[in-house]
Amino acid sequence: MLLPIIDISNQPLSIDFIKSLDLIGEIILRIPDFNNTSLLTQFLETYQLDKYWLFPIKEIVPNDIENIIQFLDQGAQKVVIPASNILTNDSISTLPADRLAVNINSSELCNEELSKKLAGLVSGYLVTDVDLESISGKFFQDLSNFIQNVQKTSDVLTKFGIILQHEKSEIKYSLNLVQHLSTISADLVVPIKNLTLDSDNNSLLSVADALTCTLTSDRPDGLFTTIVVDERGVALGVVYSSTESVREALKTRKGVYQSRKRGLWYKGATSGSVQELKKIDADCDGDVLKFTVKQFGTGFCHLNTRTCFGGSKGLTALEETLQSRKVSAPPGSYTQRLFQNPDLLRSKIMEEADELCSATTKENIAWETADLLYFALVKCVANDVSLTDVEAHLDKRAKKVIRRPGNAKPQWDISAKKTMEIDGDTKDKQIPISKSDTIKMQKFKLSEIDSIKRTSLLKRPIINSDDIMARVRPIINDVRNKGDAAIIEYTAKFDKVQLNTPVISAPFPPEAMALDDVTRRAIDQAYDNIYKFHDAQYDRSTLVVETMPGVVCSRFSRPIERVGLYVPGGTAILPSTTLMLGIPAKVAGCKEIIIASPPRKDGTVVPEVLYVAHKVGASKVLLAGGAQAVAALAYGTESVPKVDKICGPGNQYVTAAKMFAQNDSSAMISIDMPAGPSELLVIADNTSIPTYVASDLLSQAEHGTDSQVVLIGVCLTPEHLANIEREIHEQASRLPRVDIVRESISKSFILQVNNMNEAMKFSNDYSPEHLILHIDDAEKWVNAVENAGSVFIGAYSPESCGDYASGTNHTLPTYGYARMYSGVNTLTFLKHITAQKLTKQGLKDLGHTVMRLAEIEGLEAHRNAVHVRIRDLENE
């Protein structure tokens, strides 16, 4: 065949022409040297060749080695170097043989010693001084012997290029010559100025003809069987080519073939399923062509499948599915959810990578790899990266001659991890927690983190809401369909309690709410404080404003009639939450209060909860938790009346069920807010007391493994910070819930800042559920609070007081929702109704404004309702 050669100093060249040449194999680039490489770099950027050799005019000097390696790394197929250089320069001789070619003179073809020395070191020979006349004589025989010898001794696939002598001004590059050389596996090197994409003519050699003249057809019609494959090598079908169709294919860089019935066949011309031509190769014995194409449209086959052998499979099929999901996905598509939630996708990739690392059996490793490939490909498709792009990188990497050491980055280095201090970039990473580890938070300095890290610190752990919703939906449907029976069934399943009836109605049996005096007094005091604070929030008066003479607007409130209060009970019993929800509902005057809470293991209600239920005037207590309790309150069952609003915190199932019911118009229900795992942000300076700071942080960390606490240290001295950290470890180690704390503290962090403004800015951006100000002149900084559920001011205001008894509510927005939601308060249980009264004069004065605005909106009936009255008033 032929090897086009381009002198890169002779630019500009036609990009289209070069790209067509690039389709048929390798191109030799004649370059001045490796010393000044800017011309070459610019050439490669412009023409973006697929496969090329670099052939310098000048000899190689030692300083060139670095550049040679760099160009090989960047993708040069081979570098052509004089034999003397290869044999004398150690750095060159260590380069891989499949990336080196050598240029020799025709006289050296018979130099056996040289060919022995070069054996195994190179995979290409350019014979540079061949006289046209000599090609059929002795030279041809020598060349043939030489090639056979190399092929016998070398295990690298080797190419042989023949360069006709340049001194001869009139070199005739003919198809005969190409054909002749190809019989001994040699290629004719042809300057591109001697090549054409058109048919062969006397002065120029046709590229297509040069390609097909070396082929043999085993068909009576002389056509060449052509296999068509996609960029990943997947066979699309079989067609036929002629010299003419190859010529058209090269010229247009499209899939053009020879139809046995219809002549030249421009693939996709009528169907639209066109092909971009990427490569043409001949097989090893030159009787089949392979066209590599990028297939557009419905596919290659006339049956509208991608291939003539049916649909795709494996990674190609997965890629197609993901691409179609990106365009339009069926409702509830998990893939679409991954597209929309990069954080979820990131977590899944990490999770699957981790699972693959732990897999040991053949089956497991295949399974986990499939998982990881799925998520990785979602990431690719989401960002318009194709498998072909990925494979191009793999191929490019395979060409690198310098191998990286491949050590793990510090955060992934398992041996280093064991000794890692948690003072680096590890917030999102799983650090193995051992019981002997110091219980400590991760530490960051605001001045040392970038904005991406800051944003990640502001984020809460991801809630997988679609998965949870998928679990919650059938529970809700069951409760709607089967009522009490479903509640009993789910309570048995999740809470392991067999109930006869799921509801206790007031009046509650005194023995079921009997408490010792100390407990009762504590609850009573908490009750009084909470009541006092919530009662004060209730402005029972009617707001009246005369907006203009004779136009009086007013607003008054009414309680929401029936409310359902969810009191969590999964890992801790929470009578305090019964107070926090029941009291404002009672103050607001709700007519029916129903409390739902998971039963104890013996099927009873916690007496403290029942006592508070009684105090707030609840009519019923539903002995159920989770989604089944929320569904019963939202839709009603035989024994649970449907309510108008559901309030209260809970785990992810509770929250998902509340969100579901709120969005279902048939439920006609509202909720207080989406509330999740507890959280606390403490701002502390050097006036803070380390024991107090640590105790506050731990008070929220003990809620659950998903709780998050944050300490912002304002100019803390190293000693002060160390004291706080020591207190955290010592106090935590003594807690009964130390195992929960160990986990939640490891996900929590300390951020050191330089001043209070930085601290407040971070806190407002984080929007914590609880904010504690352990700082000098704490009260002054309350003015700077923009977002928080509840604020605790000064050293003697522990959050626990707000959790239980000071008077404020503890059902507060988490997860950053404090930016737009208030915590539960008396207004949560009220709605406001507005009213207005216009006098005749008021209507006369306002009427024309109303009529004009109705006219602008094209709402004639609106205008008329004023008009008929004003007409009467004007006639009075």
Ligand X SMILES: NC(=O)c1ccc[n+]([C@@H]2O[C@H](COP(=O)([O-])OP(=O)(O)OC[C@H]3O[C@@H](n4cnc5c(N)ncnc54)[C@H](O)[C@@H]3O)[C@@H](O)[C@H]2O)c1
Return residues touching ligand X (CB under 6 A): 471, 494-495, 568-571, 574, 577, 598, 625-627, 649-651, 653-654, 675, 677-678, 703-704, 810-812, 814
312 binds, among ligand X, ligand HSO, none (CB under 5 to 8 A by kind): none
Of 78 and 810, which CB lies nearer to ligand X in the complex structure?
810
Nearest to 789 by CA among 661, 867, 673, 632: 673
- Does the active-site annotation cover 832? no
Nearest to 615 by CA among 537, 499, 515, 501: 515
Tokens at residue 552, please? 């009086």
Of 249 and 581, which CB lies nearer to ligand X in the complex structure?
581
494 binds, among ligand X, ligand HSO, none (CB under 5 to 8 A by kind): ligand X
Q: How far apart are CA 666 and CA 197, in angstroms?
A: 71
CA–CA distances in Å: residue 484 to residues 476, 488, 629, 636, 662: 12, 6, 10, 9, 21
677 binds, among ligand HSO, ligand X, none (CB under 5 to 8 A by kind): ligand X
576 binds, among ligand HSO, ligand X, none (CB under 5 to 8 A by kind): ligand HSO
In the complex, what is the shortest distance from the CB of residue 792 to ligand X, in angstroms, rounded to a whole number?
15
569 binds, among ligand HSO, ligand X, none (CB under 5 to 8 A by kind): ligand X
Q: Which of 608, 769, 799, 810 is catalytic?
A: 769
Residue with tokens 């009522």: 483
* 8-state DSSP, 273: -
DSSP SS3 for 836: strand
Of 248 and 679, which CB lies nearer to ligand HSO in the complex structure?
679
25 binds, among ligand HSO, ligand X, none (CB under 5 to 8 A by kind): none
Of 617 and 798, which CB lies nearer to ligand HSO in the complex structure?
798
In the complex, what is the shortest distance from the CB of residue 623 to ligand X, in angstroms, rounded to a whole number?
10
Amino acid at 306: R
In the complex, what is the shortest distance from the CB of residue 273 to ligand X, in angstroms, rounded to a whole number?
49
78 binds, among ligand HSO, ligand X, none (CB under 5 to 8 A by kind): none
* Residue 228 β-bridge partners: 237, 291
Nearest to 234 by CA among 314, 139, 179, 296: 314
Of 239 and 627, which CB lies nearer to ligand X in the complex structure?
627
Q: How far apart are CA 250 and CA 687, in angstroms?
A: 79
Residue with tokens 């002389």: 222
Rg of the chain, C-alpha, whole Å: 40
In the complex, what is the shortest distance from the CB of residue 772 to ligand HSO, in angstroms, rounded to a whole number?
12
In the complex, what is the shortest distance from the CB of residue 802 to ligand HSO, in angstroms, rounded to a whole number?
8
In the complex, what is the shortest distance from the CB of residue 810 to ligand HSO, in angstroms, rounded to a whole number?
4
Amino acid at 513: M
Number of H helices, E strands in the chain: 32, 31
Of 191 and 502, which CB lies nearer to ligand X in the complex structure?
502
In the complex, what is the shortest distance from the CB of residue 654 to ligand X, in angstroms, rounded to a whole number?
4
Of 371 and 769, which CB lies nearer to ligand HSO in the complex structure?
769
- Does the active-site annotation cover 848? no
In the complex, what is the shortest distance from the CB of residue 233 to ligand HSO, in angstroms, rounded to a whole number?
57
471 binds, among ligand X, ligand HSO, none (CB under 5 to 8 A by kind): ligand X
What φ, ψ does residue 827 adopt, rounded to 5°? -65, -25
704 binds, among ligand X, ligand HSO, none (CB under 5 to 8 A by kind): ligand X
Q: Which of 534, 703, 720, 770 is catalytic?
A: 770
Tokens at residue 124, please? 């290409």
Long-range contacts of 207-210 (CB under 8 A, 24+ apart): 207/2, 207/4, 207/20, 207/21, 207/24, 207/250, 208/243, 208/244, 208/246, 208/247, 208/249, 208/250, 209/175, 209/243, 209/247, 210/1, 210/2, 210/175, 210/178
CB 28 within 8 A of CB 53: yes
List the strands of the sheet with 288-295, edge to edge: 235-241, 224-230, 288-295, 275-282
CA–CA distances in Å: residue 60 to residues 80, 84, 92, 402, 778: 10, 10, 10, 20, 74
Tokens at residue 136, please? 């059929």
Give CA angle at 868 (865, 871), nearest 5°. 140
Of 502 and 704, which CB lies nearer to ligand X in the complex structure?
704
Q: At what angle do helices 626-635 and 652-663 cross, to 10 degrees?
A: 20
69 binds, among ligand X, ligand HSO, none (CB under 5 to 8 A by kind): none
Residue whose beta carbon is closest to ligand HSO: 678
Of 135 and 627, which CB lies nearer to ligand X in the complex structure?
627
Q: How far apart are CA 89 and CA 85, in angstroms?
A: 6
In the complex, what is the shortest distance from the CB of residue 75 to ligand HSO, in angstroms, rounded to a whole number?
58
Tokens at residue 468, please? 């949870």
Of 47 and 792, which CB lies nearer to ligand HSO in the complex structure?
792
In the complex, what is the shortest distance from the CB of residue 769 to ligand HSO, in angstroms, rounded to a whole number?
6
Of 678 and 825, which CB lies nearer to ligand HSO in the complex structure?
678
In the complex, what is the shortest distance from the CB of residue 706 to ligand X, in angstroms, rounded to a whole number?
6
Q: What kind and span of H or E run contains 164?
A: strand 159-164
Q: How far apart are CA 730 and CA 750, in angstroms?
A: 17
Of 599 and 649, which CB lies nearer to ligand HSO in the complex structure?
649
Residues making contact with ligand HSO (CB under 6 A): 574, 576-577, 678, 769, 803, 810
CB 34 within 8 A of CB 9: no
803 binds, among ligand X, ligand HSO, none (CB under 5 to 8 A by kind): ligand HSO
495 binds, among ligand X, ligand HSO, none (CB under 5 to 8 A by kind): ligand X
In the complex, what is the shortest distance from the CB of residue 820 to ligand X, in angstroms, rounded to a whole number?
16
DSSP-assigned letters across all residues of 367-383: HHHHHHHHHHHHHHHHT
In the complex, what is the shortest distance from the CB of residue 806 to ligand HSO, in angstroms, rounded to a whole number?
12
Q: How far apart are CA 587 and CA 616, in angstroms?
A: 9
Of 645 and 810, which CB lies nearer to ligand HSO in the complex structure?
810
598 binds, among ligand X, ligand HSO, none (CB under 5 to 8 A by kind): ligand X
Residue 521 burial (C-beta neighbours within 10 Å; 0-12, 13-18, 19+): exposed
CB 763 within 8 A of CB 788: yes
**What's the 3-state SS for 197-260?**
CCCCCCCCEEHHHHHHCCCCCCCCCCCEEEEEEECCCCEEEEEEECHHHHHHHHHHCECEEEEC
Active-site amino acid positions: 769-770
